[in-house]
């Protein structure tokens, strides 16, 4: 009795399926392999042909099931490699790596399995980078939304979470460089510093701008911000050192020059105030006390001290 379209010989079905597969007629080839597995579920070649056809049709989950049937019948390195290839496409990298290990255990010279295992490790690394990068971007975008609505304190934890995610990235020379990573982290530390500045927590703000400057010590914007913060904290001399450093880096920057003049005025005022305080204190001291202070500072010798003391007595 005729089997019609598919014929009645299992081997013929597989041969016809292979012929159609080589002609890139994967849907048609699949029909023959499907019929062959139906007739004889223990025919390994039929399952491999079906799996390969499904893979070409981007039906990788179904292809993996077919490869599993073939491996159950008889394990070989090529089928393990084919299964690993489909798992790679599905981004199931650890499962794929297991398949390549199995393939190489059977045939350590399977060059396709060797190449695919190397590719799998690279894809795993890139996938991890992408996961951390996407997570960091989500947190950063949320922080920026809050910043725009002036919810500065609420934005800070999202900026910090973004730093945490970027810190987990292992830089890759092509996909994500060390400069990319450091650049993002510097920007985030500067953003946190700005948030703290706007809510008048100047010590905290200074901590984060210092973290940014550890990454890029010649960032004049951050140096200018640091100088402003030091002035807010009444550390005018430190502010002067910082703003002077910024001007050396960018000598034509009018904003920095203006800031420098402002800090100089504060330092001058601070110095005058301290001098006046010292004079006021010295005026309140007894002559002998002043004499002792001068001796302690080395301004007079012990012999001079004794002579003057005699006159005071």
pLDDT at 128: 81
Q: Which residues contact 104 (CB under 8 A, 6 or more apart)?
A: 77, 110, 113, 114, 117
DSSP state, 216? -
> Do the Cβ atoms of 206 and 195 come closer than 8 Å?
no
Q: Can you tell me the distance from the alpha carbon of 255 to that of 102, in angstroms, rounded to the nearest whole number?
A: 66
Q: How far is CA 52 from CA 48, 94, 106, 194, in A?
A: 6, 21, 21, 57
Domains in the chain, CATH or no CATH each: 4-109 (1.25.40.10), 141-285 (1.25.40.10)
State residue 168 phi and psi, 5-degree precision. -80, -15
Instruction: Measure the CA angle with vertex 195, ends 149 and 151; round to 5°.
Output: 25
pLDDT at 281: 45
How much is the pTM? 0.60
10-residue block means of pLDDT along the chain (313 residues)? 43 94 96 94 95 96 96 96 95 93 95 92 84 92 96 97 90 74 94 96 97 95 94 88 91 89 75 48 52 61 67 57
Dig out the tokens for 163 from the structure. 């730093």
**Long-range contacts, stretch 156-161, CB < 8 angstroms, 24+ apart:** 156/192, 156/195, 156/196, 159/188, 159/191, 159/192, 159/195, 160/188, 160/192
Q: Can you tell me the distance from the alpha carbon of 206 to that of 190, in angstroms, rounded to the nearest whole number?
A: 10
State residue 268 phi and psi, 5-degree precision. -60, -45
Identify the three-state secondary structure at position 176: strand
pLDDT at 224: 94
pLDDT at 240: 87
């Amino acid at each position: 009795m005729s089997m019609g379209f598919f014929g009645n010989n299992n081997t013929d079905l597989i041969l016809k399926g292979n012929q159609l597969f080589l002609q890139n007629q994967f849907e048609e080839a699949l029909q023959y392999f499907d019929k062959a597995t139906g007739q004889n579920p223990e025919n390994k070649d039929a399952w491999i042909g079906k799996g390969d056809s499904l893979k070409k049709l981007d039906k990788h989950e179904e292809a993996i099931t077919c490869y599993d049937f073939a491996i159950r019948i008889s394990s070989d390195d090529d089928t393990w490699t084919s299964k690993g290839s489909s798992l790679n496409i599905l981004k199931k990298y650890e499962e794929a790596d297991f398949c390549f290990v199995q393939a190489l255990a059977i045939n350590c010279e399977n060059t396709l399995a060797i190449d695919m295992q190397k590719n799998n490790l690279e894809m795993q690394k890139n996938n991890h980078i992408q996961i951390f990068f996407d997570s960091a971007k989500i947190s950063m975008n949320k922080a920026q939304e809050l910043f725009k609505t002036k919810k500065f304190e609420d934005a800070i934890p999202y900026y910090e979470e973004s730093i945490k995610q970027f810190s987990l990235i292992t830089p890759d020379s092509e996909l994500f460089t060390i400069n990319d990573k450091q650049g993002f982290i510097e920007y985030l530390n500067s953003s946190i510093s700005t948030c703290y500045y706007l809510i008048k927590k100047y010590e905290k703000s200074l901590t984060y701008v210092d973290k940014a400057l550890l990454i890029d010590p010649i960032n004049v914007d951050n140096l200018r911000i640091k100088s402003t913060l030091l002035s807010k904290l009444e550390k005018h001399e430190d502010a002067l050192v910082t703003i002077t450093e910024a001007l050396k880096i960018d000598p034509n920057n009018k904003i920095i020059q203006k800031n420098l003049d402002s800090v100089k005025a504060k330092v001058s005022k601070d110095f005058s105030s301290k001098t006046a305080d010292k004079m006021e204190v010295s005026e309140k001291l007894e002559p002998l006390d002043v004499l002792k202070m001068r001796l302690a500072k080395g301004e007079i010798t012990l012999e001079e001290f004794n002579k003057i003391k005699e006159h005071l007595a």
